[in-house]
């Protein structure tokens, strides 16, 4: 250091150590508050949550701060210069410490503040140091500043107040006389105030934050059994537009729905809050609660955050008024995204044993694409330190990570009007294939005490998922969607380079296929495509497709399995035609979306591996005995609750219709292996060896006689009725199980006219999938899959 530099540094340190307060006091302008890790406190005009610094003019005069300087460096106090700005007496001035360096509109410095702690300096145009804040290490969404404003004492604030007077931290904490949970009869709920503090308690019962103009608590709150209460009026608010198509248009709820009590209370003194808000959820007395078989979520939040015309997440609102078709399917506030459309909620979670497992604040946003227009919305939960806890910590699923930055309460997407479990079931089916996928568990949701029906607890596929499940650092994650057109995280150059190579080299040549193998996990790609093809996903691969890699030396592209709400429906959907189509349909299989698959199919190595994988998965993963067992178990888990869910939403039309949808799923799973096997044989030809499936025999679709003979009911518990709309003569029947083993055989003599039934007793069979072989007159054979249930 030269002599002049040493002298300057010495003078600066002297000023910092001995003279900051007097000069600040003369000018009246102080650094009053700052935040060094802004997770969710205040967004700038770009929607970014940047560090910020607040100045306060403590004087009675207007002060012009043009030419003043802000800095985070003792050795360089003149880092950022103020433009022409004046501060009125007793006013605040906010500056974002973002590094964006803006002096028009919102003010942004050319530096950021380290949350680990570094000094902040304010200097006047003559270089005089006006204020100096020593380094302070701060957690996320905590601020540090003076109390009172402009005073000499500093505090860390749990309630940051950028651009407004600093707020003291609450020293009092209220508690309930009874914890949130389930109670048999009327509950007298009290609020316990520590010590002998003389404060007034105000409360609300609709989810709103209490204020001094709400109900004053004089003694206790009587919570009556919920069966004597009327429905919460919020369930009468339509959650999509009246112009929505009838198949998913909001329907009025029934009259006899479960309900919970939600209570919020806060302490006030002289009209000002002196405690944080206390929130509780109480299930009282209803017979319904004694028969719960699923876990329960309760969300408590400001009613306007969901239903206000301008800011409500659940309603068409002003967004629909301005542009009715802005979003997929229909416009509405529920199609809005980003942090400005995140709302604070209090989250409770009770397990099947009625034990409270979660009681914390989180953020919520609407999740999904077109399914945002469904009457019931998918909800994305956000854990942030801003809300108190930076994780949602609970073991919702029996294996895997149990801490979440994000968690989904999903409405089952398009399947909301059908079964409420299709996508979750497909994830259970393909679990052995080792994909990056979303775990599934059903639950019941209450919002502000109102019954909101069934939801699906799911993982959220984002950077935190890859970090917690696979240990991939977010700085090394490349996550893309829609053929690499959209970057979710990281970079896309490597993927685009691979696709350029694929376009310009014939993969018939082994050397070029081997080169592509260096880029992508081919085995994962094969399994992923077989899974999507087997379940008959139509709105893909030009939609709902994501792939990722760890940006490391050995990182390869892998495909993420998600969003299969329209699956397990079209038994005869031919995925080979879908994926090899070269007509360039705009949706759902444009050429760009099938390009990689079509080119890989040119490789003999790839085709052989594909066939081998089909044989393996048809014998194991997609074995009807396994898949049908999973489907029956999944439907059974919802059966008790489904009548209430239908009463709430009107979808499906009835429990009987839901049971019919269940039967169609079982029919699909019972027959899809055989159908997919035949399609695969036809596509690959005789040069490839496919393993036979004993239960298939020669079961193929007979277009001419598709509806001439039917089994009713199917699934069944005790008996099958063979019904024909043509004269029918049966000589014998054989029942074969999913493993191809003959279970029973019987010779019969049955002749009937049109519409007469023949009864087959299956009461002695174990639950599962079976094939009924009928030998008709002249030795003609017909094969019919059926499902035996408990």
CB 163, CB 94: distance < 8 Å: yes
Residue 326: count of CB within 10 angstroms of its CB: 13
Could you give the domains of the chain? 11-157 (2.60.40.1260), 175-394 (no CATH), 466-683 (1.10.1070), 709-788 (2.60.40.1930)
- Number of residues assigned to the chain: 790
Radius of gyration of the chain from its Cα atoms, rounded to whole angstroms:
33
Tokens at residue 530, please? Answer: 């077989």
Give the closest residue to 158 by CA, choosing from 32, 276, 31, 302: 276
What share of the chain has pLDDT > 90, as a percent? 77
pLDDT category at 769 given cuts 50, 70, 90 is confident
CB 381 within 8 A of CB 407: yes
Task: Report how far residue 30's alpha carbon sits from residue 130's, in angstroms, rounded to the nearest whole number.
Answer: 7
Mean pLDDT of the chain: 92
DSSP code string of 37-94: --SSS---TTS---EEEEEEE-SSS-EE-TT-EEES-TT-TTSEE--S-EE-TT-EEE
pLDDT at site 23:
47
pLDDT per residue as tens digits for the range 427-479 = 999 999 999 999 999 999 999 999 999 999 999 999 999 999 999 999 999 99
Judging by DSSP bridges, how do beta strands 728-737 and 742-752 pair with one another?
antiparallel
Average pLDDT (114-119) is: 92
Angle at 358 between CA 353 and CA 363, to 5 degrees: 140
Distance CA 177, CA 198 (A): 18
What mean pLDDT comes out for the span 594-600?
Answer: 98
pLDDT value at 542 more than 70: yes
Say if CB 770 and CB 745 are below 8 A apart.
Answer: no
| Tens digits of residue pLDDT in 150-174 | 999 999 999 999 999 998 899 899 9
**Is residue 15's pLDDT more than 70?**
no
pLDDT reading at 290 higher than 90? no
Residue 592 has pLDDT above 80, yes or no: yes
Residue 25 confidence (pLDDT): 53
């Amino acid at each position: 250091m030269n002599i002049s530099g040493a002298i300057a540094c010495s003078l600066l340190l002297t000023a910092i150590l001995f003279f900051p307060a007097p000069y600040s006091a003369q000018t009246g302008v102080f650094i009053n508050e700052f935040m060094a890790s802004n997770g969710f406190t205040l967004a700038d005009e770009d929607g970014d949550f940047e560090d910020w610094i607040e100045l306060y003019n403590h004087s009675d005069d207007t002060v012009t701060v043009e030419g003043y300087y802000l800095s985070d460096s003792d050795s360089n106090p003149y880092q950022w210069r103020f433009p022409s700005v004046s501060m009125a007496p007793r006013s605040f001035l906010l500056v974002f410490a973002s590094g964006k360096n803006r002096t028009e509109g919102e003010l942004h410095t050319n530096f950021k503040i380290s949350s680990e702690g570094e000094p902040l300096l304010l200097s006047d145009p003559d270089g005089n140091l006006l204020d100096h804040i020593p380094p302070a290490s701060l957690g996320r969404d905590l601020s540090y500043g003076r109390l009172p404003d402009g005073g000499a004492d500093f505090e860390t604030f749990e309630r940051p107040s950028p651009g407004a007077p600093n707020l003291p931290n609450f020293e009092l904490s209220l508690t309930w006389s009874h914890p949130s949970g389930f109670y048999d009869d009327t509950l007298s709920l009290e609020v316990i105030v520590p010590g002998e503090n003389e404060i007034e308690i105000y409360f609300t019962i609709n989810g709103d934050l209490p204020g001094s103009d709400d109900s004053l608590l004089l003694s206790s709150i009587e919570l009556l059994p919920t069966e004597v209460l009327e429905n919460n009026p919020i369930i009468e608010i339509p959650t999509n537009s009246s112009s929505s198509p009838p198949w998913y248009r909001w329907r009025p709820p029934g009259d006899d729905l479960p309900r919970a009590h939600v209570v919020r209370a806060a302490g006030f003194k002289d009209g000002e809050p002196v405690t944080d808000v206390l929130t509780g959820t109480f299930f009282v007395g209803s017979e319904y609660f004694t028969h719960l078989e699923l876990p329960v979520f309760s969300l408590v939040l400001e009613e306007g955050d969901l239903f206000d015309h301008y800011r409500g997440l659940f309603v068409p609102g002003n967004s629909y008024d301005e542009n009715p078709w802005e979003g997929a399917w229909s416009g509405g506030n529920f199609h809005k995204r980003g942090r400005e459309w995140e709302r604070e909620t209090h989250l409770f979670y009770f397990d099947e044993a009625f034990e409270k497992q979660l009681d914390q604040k989180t953020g919520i946003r609407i999740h999904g694409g077109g399914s945002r227009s469904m009457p019931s919305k998918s909800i994305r939960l956000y854990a942030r330190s801003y809300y108190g806890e930076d994780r949602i910590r609970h073991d919702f699923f029996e294996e895997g990570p149990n801490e979440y930055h994000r968690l989904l309460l999903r409405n089952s997407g398009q399947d909301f009007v059908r079964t409420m479990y299709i996508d979750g079931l497909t994830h259970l089916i393909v679990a052995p294939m080792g994909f990056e996928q979303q775990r599934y568990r059903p639950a019941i949701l209450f919002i502000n005490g109102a019954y909101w029906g069934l939801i699906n607890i799911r993982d959220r596929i984002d950077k935190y998922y890859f970090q917690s499940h696979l240990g991939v650092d977010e700085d090394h994650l490349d996550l893309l969607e829609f053929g690499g057109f959209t970057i979710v995280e990281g970079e896309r150059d490597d993927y685009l380079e691979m696709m350029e190579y694929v376009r310009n080299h014939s993969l018939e040549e082994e050397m070029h296929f081997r080169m592509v193998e260096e880029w992508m996990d081919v085995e994962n790609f094969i399994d992923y495509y077989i899974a999507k093809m087997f379940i008959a996903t139509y709105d893909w691969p030009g939609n709902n497709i994501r792939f990722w890699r760890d940006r490391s030396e050995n990182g390869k592209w892998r495909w993420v399995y998600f969003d299969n709400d329209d699956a397990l429906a079209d038994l005869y959907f031919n995925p080979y035609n879908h994926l090899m189509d070269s007509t360039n349909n705009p949706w759902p299989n444009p050429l760009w979306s099938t390009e990689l698959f079509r080119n890989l199919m040119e490789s003999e190595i790839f085709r052989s591996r594909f066939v081998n994988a089909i044989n393996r998965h048809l014998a194991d993963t997609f074995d009807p005995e396994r898949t049908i067992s999973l489907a029956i178990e999944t439907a059974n888990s919802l059966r008790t609750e489904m009548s209430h869910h239908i009463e709430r939403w009107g979808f499906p039309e009835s429990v009987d219709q839901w049971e019919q949808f269940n039967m169609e799923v079982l029919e699909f799973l019972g027959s899809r292996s055989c159908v997919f096997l035949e399609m695969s044989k036809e596509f690959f030809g005789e040069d490839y060896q496919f393993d036979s499936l004993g239960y298939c025999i020669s079961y193929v679709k007979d277009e001419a006689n598709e509806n001439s003979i039917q089994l009713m009911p199917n699934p069944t518990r005790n008996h099958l009725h063979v019904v024909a709309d043509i004269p029918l003569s049966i000589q014998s029947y054989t029942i074969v199980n999913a493993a191809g083993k003959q279970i029973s055989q019987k010779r019969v003599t049955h002749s009937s006219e049109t519409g007469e039934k023949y009864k087959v007793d299956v009461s002695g069979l174990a639950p599962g999938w079976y094939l009924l072989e009928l030998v008709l007159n002249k030795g003609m054979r017909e094969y019919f899959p059926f499902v035996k249930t408990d």
